[in-house]
Amino acid sequence: MRSERHVMKMKDLKFGPQLIATLLVLCFCYTYAVAEVKKQTKETFIIQMDKSNMPATYYDHFQWYDSSLKSVSESADMLYTYNNIIHGFSTQLTPEEAELLEKQSGILSVLPEMIYKLHTTHTPEFLGLGKSDAVLLPASASLSEVIVGVLDTGVWPEIKSFEDTGLGPIPSTWKGSCEVGKNFNSSSCNRKLIGAQYFSKGYEAAFGPIDETMESKSPRDDDGHGTHTATTAAGSAVSGASLFGYASGIARGMATEARVAAYKVCWLGGCFSSDILAAMEKAVADGVNVMSMSIGGGLSDYTRDTVAIGAFRAAAQGILVSCSAGNGGPSPGSLSNVAPWITTVGAGTLDRDFPAFVSLGDGKKYSGISLYSGKPLSDSLVPLVYAGNVSNSTSGSLCMIGTLIPAQVAGKIVICDRGGNSRVQKGLVVKDSGGLGMILANTELYGEELVADAHLLPTAAVGIRTANAIKNYAFLDPKPMGTIASGGTKLGVEPSPVVAAFSSRGPNLVTPEVLKPDLIAPGVNILAGWTGGAGPTGLTNDKRHVEFNIISGTSMSCPHVSGLAALIKAAHQDWSPAAIKSALMTTAYATYKNGENLLDVATGQPSTPFDYGAGHVNPVAALDPGLVYDATVDDYISFFCALNYSASDIKQITTKDFICDSSKKYSLGDLNYPSFSVPLQTASGKEGGAGVKSTVKYTRTLTNVGAPATYKVSMTSQTTSVKMLVEPESLSFAKEYEKKSYTVTFTATSMPSGTNSFAHLEWSDGKHVVRSPIAFSWT
């Protein structure tokens, strides 16, 4: 605080001409200096070059890249050069320099760096892979030739899930390496974990050099997310696995004998697109067959989406790219990774639960969920309080750090509302304030969704109905009491699966004519390998070390599908990524055995294709789908023409020179996709109005991947507002890989009561059912 002798009053100042001039100069200089600082602030950009149009004056592309860069910034250096996924480089430039560079001949695009974020074993049995009658599973020799590349936070190589016992030599197709770095050497890799590399130049350009006291500048996983996703996809079988005794049994990945290649692209500050693109480039060159990416960012046009561009180039070279749909549910239109050449995976539940029980002083008992494993509370009841009533903050009900009053919390169970900070941190706040236990209460936003956590004190997470009942008791009883007890692991939970509330939902806001997500897979309370560098909660205060952890997110569902894609690749080595995706989608199920639709845990009501896409993955059926919807680069080029992309746009994504035929009518509905999304326009715009009519026609082509057979079509619909006509109604295939096309005409005759409705189309030969969801939306 300044003393009064340092404060001058305005009336005491003498403003002569010379002083005023001096002040003006100083003001101008300061303003100019600030402007210069702003002007010189550099950001990372990814520059895509038109490789085929390199001027003849350059003897190689690197020289061309360097010359182009130095023409706008003498001091700039290239972070990465790209040669497989795209042709170009990444660098740091001011916005003005980037704008100048983009105007140069031979530059296809200058894209700003994007920061992506992570979308954070009983499972094989739940999926039918543990059954002795799964005779269609590929032989181990062919599966061991498949390589799954995982782009994530790295790996912890010492855990048993990466043991290589029984595996043969590393596939001859592998061209990658085991990169040496902090706490990671060449011996960290083996015949299971055949490669591991890290990519940090984009991250360090933004944040400065990596603080190696906080994270390893190497492929080593200090976070746990990457180890979990890699072992979910292709971890070796490990007996006696569990988290503190929960979910005990054999932990194994979906493709236990496939090889794993880890690419560390995510750091404490996030996952940077220049690093991701460099890793995708390396994975393609290394020879991976499947690329698994449990990360996502904002939505943008495909020409501005570096992950979508990289995934297209990977798919064009025969690599299936599987990505998480995001954890933005249940909000509509919350998806990420929506490009049609990406397999976009949402999350569902297993038939396994980890119950925790709350007993109250009025004799009532309620059920929740928890993975707490420490000293239990006694059977005796203890005082119960609502956090909002023992807090010094207006947001005290959330149990944020520093908001609870210890004197009013000590020796009690505290009811904390979910949201605002992490679920496990709330418990730590209660514990640090002297609380004995926590009831984690869902609010309206979370509904009945329950996610298990390895809490640091006795805890029960409860759905909103139970939460409201417990709160009412705590508010009305003059001396509320309660206790919490663990219920261990419960199997056979019904109904299952249900769509997870957090799983991101359609419609696809980039291209409404492409239905997303593609399908769902297990993503709630998944047991898989974990890092030795962090406790199961990820909190710095959590000093517990575990080899396996149970976590949830579409980050967990994505590697399930990546591993299952590896199984299909091993069984059908000549299938394209589109064919593999089609097999997974058309054999997925959207109903329970009783015929009822899969439920949405967010609402308790039946879910829709905007929630689950084609349905829940069914891997055994996917190994023998009968027919597939295949797609080539040319199919996607026609799709780009339907989007009215310019020749430059098309080249930016495909590297091909192509000009759309102005005399040809391109349709987004003709992309050979395994599902249908049909936006319809109404003439009157009135609900149920007379004379409403909109007709669109979609064309599809099926490829026979089974024995000769005749397939007949059938349709079911939830709406009478749209008539569907399929021509022809039967398709006869005389040989394998024969192709047959059909058209579906959709005619809207009236407006439904809502804005969306749904249907299904099936082709069946009596043995196979090739099923496609249909989503109608009215505009």
**How far is Cα 758 from Cα 610, in angstroms, rounded to an integer?**
9
Task: From 369, 399, 384, 160, select the one nearest 256 (Cα to Cα).
Answer: 160
Let me know the angle formed at the C-alpha of 95 by 92 and 99, rounded to the nearest 5 degrees: 105
> Helices H, strands E: what count in the chain?
18, 37
Instruction: Supply φ then ψ for residue 715, to 5 degrees.
Output: -140, 145
Q: Please pick, among 273, 370, 555, 675, the residue that the annotation labels catalytic.
A: 555
Helix axis angle for 647-654 and 306-316, nearest 10°, is: 70
Whether the Cβ atoms of residue 574 and residue 507 lie closer than 8 Å to each other? no
Q: What is the DSSP string of 45-113?
A: EEEEE-GGG--TT-SSHHHHHHHHHHTT-TT--EEEEESSSSSEEEEEE-HHHHHHHHTSTTEEEEEE-
Whether residue 225 lies in the annotated active site: yes
Under DSSP, the state recorded for 707 is S
Number of other CB atoms surrounding residue 737 within 10 Å: 11
**How far is Cα 763 from Cα 740, in angstroms, rounded to an integer?**
12
Task: From 263, 284, 164, select the one nearest 577 (Cα to Cα).
Answer: 284
Q: Please pick, among 225, 455, 616, 760, the residue that the annotation labels catalytic.
A: 225
Whether the Cβ atoms of residue 253 and residue 235 lie closer than 8 Å to each other? yes
Whether the Cβ atoms of residue 200 and residue 267 lie closer than 8 Å to each other? yes
**How far is Cα 16 from Cα 45, in angstroms, rounded to an integer?**
50
Helix axis angle for 273-286 and 306-316, nearest 10°, is: 10
Residues 6+ apart with CB under 8 A from 171: 144, 145, 147, 194, 259, 287
Which pairing describes strands 519-522 and 343-348: parallel, antiparallel, or unpaired?
A: parallel
Residue 384 pairs with which residues in a beta bridge?
A: 413
Helix axis angle for 225-234 and 554-571, nearest 10°, is: 30
Cis peptide bond N-terminal to 507, omega within 30: yes
Which two three-digit tokens encode residue 40?
Answer: 């010189």
**How far is Cα 606 from Cα 596, in angstroms, rounded to an integer?**
8
Residues 6+ apart with CB under 8 A from 4: none
Buried b (16+ CB within 10 A) or exposed e, 242-259: bbbebbbbebbbbbbbbb
Q: Please pick, among 152, 305, 611, 765, the residue that the annotation labels catalytic.
A: 152
Question: Helix, strand, or coil here: 366?
Answer: strand
Whether the Cβ atoms of residue 264 and residue 234 lie closer than 8 Å to each other? no
Whether the Cβ atoms of residue 372 and residue 264 lie closer than 8 Å to each other? no
Active site residues: 152, 225, 555
